[in-house]
Amino acid sequence: MRAPLPLLIAGLVVSLAACGPKPEATAPEAAAPPAEAAPAAEPAPAPVAAVTAPDGQTYPEAQAGCLDEVAMASATDRAALTVTELNSAESGISVYVQAPGAAGKWFCLANPDGSVQGTEFREEAAAEAEAATDDGVPPLADRFPAAQAACLDAVAAQTNVDRATLTVTEVLWAEAGVGVTITVPGADAPWSCLADEAGKVQGAAYTGSEGAL
């Protein structure tokens, strides 16, 4: 006995559905990459205290710059020089250098990056007095007095101003000579003078506008 037509049609539909293409499996979503951990903050460097027995590791740039400067000023082999004292202050790093056979020490003032502000040779007694100061920097009046006196005379002559009213505000040593900065009453800018250690002036000039003299 044949099955009724509706049942045959229903069976055919079920068979076709079973034979059809299977739905593709959905790929699982990729897991999000783990968040990178923030790098640990580096600890702040500890402040460097003034030392009296340099090991070459404290302010090495300042020591190297001063050794180079003293080697040129003293015409001494750099390897023969010895740093004997090192002090840090607000004005800079003071470095004392001993040259072989010298009856005194070289004083050098430099920045932590090694740029030298000035250097000069001090006799033994003067060097000991400088080491006793708070910051290791010699008094301004004692730095190359002959060069200061000559520059004061030169500026006084050029400005027609009483020499006693002039003020030396800075003295720096360089390979070219001793640089002396002088203020003149009423002037808007200082005068700059270059002389040698013996007091021979190479030149003096106003650093501001000529109209402000």
| The last residue of a domain, from among 137, 169, 202 | 137
Question: What's the confidence (pLDDT) of residue 22?
Answer: 53
C-alpha dihedral over 102, 195, 93, 100, to 10 degrees? Answer: -10
DSSP state of 100: T
* 4 in a structural domain: no
Range with the poorest average pLDDT among 12-16, 61-65, 103-107, 184-188: 12-16
* 102 in a structural domain: yes
Q: Helix (H) and strand (E) counts for the chain? A: 4, 8
Share of the chain above pLDDT 70, in %: 65
Q: Are 194 and 179 in contact (CB under 8 A)?
A: yes
Round the average pLDDT of the chain to a whole number and report it. 75
* 7 in a structural domain: no
Share of the chain above pLDDT 90, in %: 30
Question: What's the confidence (pLDDT) of residue 150?
Answer: 94
Question: What's the confidence (pLDDT) of residue 63?
Answer: 92
Q: How many CB atoms lie within 10 A of CB 22?
A: 5
Q: How many CB atoms lie within 10 A of CB 212?
A: 10
Q: Are 61 and 92 in contact (CB under 8 A)?
A: no
Select the more confidently predicted residue: 71 or 32.
71
Residues 6+ apart with CB under 8 A from 181: 168, 169, 170, 171, 190, 191, 192, 193
How many degrees, rounded to 5, is the angle at CA 50 between CA 49 and CA 51? 110
Number of domains in the chain: 2
* 121 in a structural domain: yes
What's the pLDDT tens digit per position in 148-172?
Answer: 999 999 999 999 999 999 999 988 8
110 and 160 in a single domain? The answer is no
163 and 194 in a single domain? The answer is yes
SS3 of residue 74 by DSSP: helix
Question: What's the confidence (pLDDT) of residue 90?
Answer: 72
Q: Tell me what the mean pLDDT of segment 174-181 comes to.
A: 84
90 and 129 in a single domain? The answer is yes
What's the pLDDT tens digit per position in 122-143?
Answer: 876 544 555 545 555 567 777 8
Range with the poorest average pLDDT among 15-19, 163-167, 172-176, 199-203: 15-19
CATH code, domain with 197: 3.30.505
Question: What's the confidence (pLDDT) of residue 44?
Answer: 44
Alpha helices in the chain (DSSP H): 5-19, 60-74, 124-131, 145-159
Question: What's the confidence (pLDDT) of residue 53?
Answer: 42
Q: Tell me what the mean pLDDT of segment 5-26 comes to.
A: 53
* 39 in a structural domain: no
**Per-residue DSSP letters for 4-29?**
PHHHHHHHHHHHHHHHSPPPPPPPPP
Domain that holds residue 133: 60-137
What's the pLDDT tens digit per position in 68-124?
Answer: 999 998 888 999 998 888 887 777 888 889 888 888 888 888 889 999 988 888 876
Beta bridge pairs of residue 119: 108
| The last residue of a domain, from among 137, 168, 188 | 137
Please tell me the pTM assigned to this model: 0.40
